[in-house]
Amino acid sequence: MCSKNKRVLVAMSGGVDSCATAILVANEGYMPLGATMRLNNSSCVSDKDINDAKTACEILKIPHHVVDFSSDFEKSVIKNFVESYENGLTPNPCIECNFKLKFDKLFDFASELDCDLIATGHYARIEYSEKYGRKVLKKATNIKKDQSYVLYRISSKRLNKIIFPLGTINEKSEARELVTKHNIPIGEKKDSQDICFVPDGDYAKFIEEYTKKSYPVGDFVTTDGKFLGKHKGIIRYTIGQRKGLGLALPHSMYVVDKNLDTNQVVIGDPPDLMAKELYADNVVLSALDDISEWTKIKAKVRYNQSEQDAEATLENGLLHVIFNEAQRAISPGQSVVLYDGDIVLGGGRIVSVVK
C-alpha cells in the first residue's frame, strides 16, 4: 500500500515537535489525523495546549480529536509514580506514559479511526535491520535530542505501526522553522521540562498532597550504622543525592541506600555508590527474540548517560546485566536499556543492585 492511502494518527500535544510531525507526515503523502490526549492535569496537557493543537490542525486542514485518557493517566502514571516512591524506588513516569498511553491506549483509538499508523514527535528512528531481520528502534540522528531510552518498552510488533518523522532532523530549530513556515503560531513555544505533573520539581510535596499523608521522620545512618541525624521522610531522598540533606558532614557524602523496614536513609562516600551488577524486571526485547546466553552489549541506567560496555542475559524472567566497569548510583525503579551501536535491543526496570 502506498503512503498516500495510509491514515496516520498523529499524537498532538500542542507543542512544536508534534505540530512539525503532522507537517512531515503530510509531506510524505500520508493522510494525517491529529489526536490530543486529555490527561486531566493542567501541567501535562492544558486547555491552551489542546487549543494550540486544534488550531494547528485547522491550519493544516486535518481532522482533530481530543481523547480523554485522564483515568488511565491517573492509574498507570501518577499512582505508579507515587507508589514507587513509597516503596523506595526512583520511577521514570515518562517511560510509563509512553508505554501505557501513547503506544497502547492511543493504538486502540487509532484502530477506532481506521488508522494504519501512529506518529509522534519523539526524537528516535525506526528502521529495518538486516542484522536482526526486523524493524528496530534506533537512536535519533541528533544524539543530543535522542529519546530512545524512554521508548525501549515498545514491542517489535508495535514498531511496525509507528513512525518518528523527527528522528532524522539535525536540529530542533528545523522543527521550529517548519512550524513557523506553515503559519502555526507556536514557533517560539518552550519545550516541556521535567515531569509534567510536578512542574516545580518538588516530588515530595506532590506525593504528600496526592496521598494526603505525611511520611515519618527517621534516621540518617552511615553504611556501618552510625547515627548522623534525622531525615524528613524517606520519599524525599534518592540514590546519589548529595544536596538538601540538612546534615553537617565532614566531606561530600551521598544517599547510597534506603531501608524501608527501618525507615533509614543510608549515607556513604562516593565509592559506596558504585556497582557493576543489576537485575531488572518488566523486560522487553524488541530487536532480540531471546538473550538466554551471556551477550556482549552496551547499556545505560539513566537517560543522560552514554552507553557502557556490559554483558546481559535472562535468568528466571529477570534481566541480569554486569558492566565491565562499576557504574555510579544505579537506582532501583529506573530502567536499564541495552544497545547494539545505535540500535535499541530492549531493557527492563531495575529491581536490585549487586555491590
pLDDT of residue 2: 53
Do 103 and 221 reside in the same domain of the chain?
Answer: no
- Pick the most confident of 201-205, 301-305, 307-311: 307-311
Catalytic: which of 19, 44, 97, 115?
97
Do 168 and 29 reside in the same domain of the chain?
Answer: yes
120-124, 189-193, 248-252: which has the minimum mean pLDDT?
189-193
* CATH number, domain with residue 118: 3.40.50.620
Do 292 and 307 reside in the same domain of the chain?
Answer: yes
> CA-to-CA distance for 154 and 168, rounded, in angstroms?
19
pLDDT of residue 42: 55
Is 196 a known active-site residue?
Answer: yes
* CATH number, domain with residue 331: 2.40.30.10
Q: How many domains does the chain have?
A: 3
Predicted confidence (pLDDT) at residue 209 exceeds the cutoff of 60: yes
* CATH number, domain with residue 248: 2.30.30.280
Residue indicated by cell numbers 509531506: 27
The DSSP line for 145-190 is: G--GGGGTT--HHHHTTEE-GGGG-S-HHHHHHHHHHTT-TTTTPP
Do 168 and 31 reside in the same domain of the chain?
Answer: yes
Q: Which of 234, 268, 302 is the last residue of a domain?
A: 268
Q: pLDDT band for position 172 (50/70/90)?
A: confident
Do 9 and 112 reside in the same domain of the chain?
Answer: yes
pLDDT of residue 1: 44
Of residues 273 and 195, more confidently modeled: 273
Catalytic: which of 44, 94, 115, 196?
196
Do 9 and 87 reside in the same domain of the chain?
Answer: yes
pTM for the whole structure: 0.94
Q: pLDDT band for position 186 (50/70/90)?
A: confident
Q: Which domain holds residue 236?
A: 215-268
pLDDT of residue 231: 98
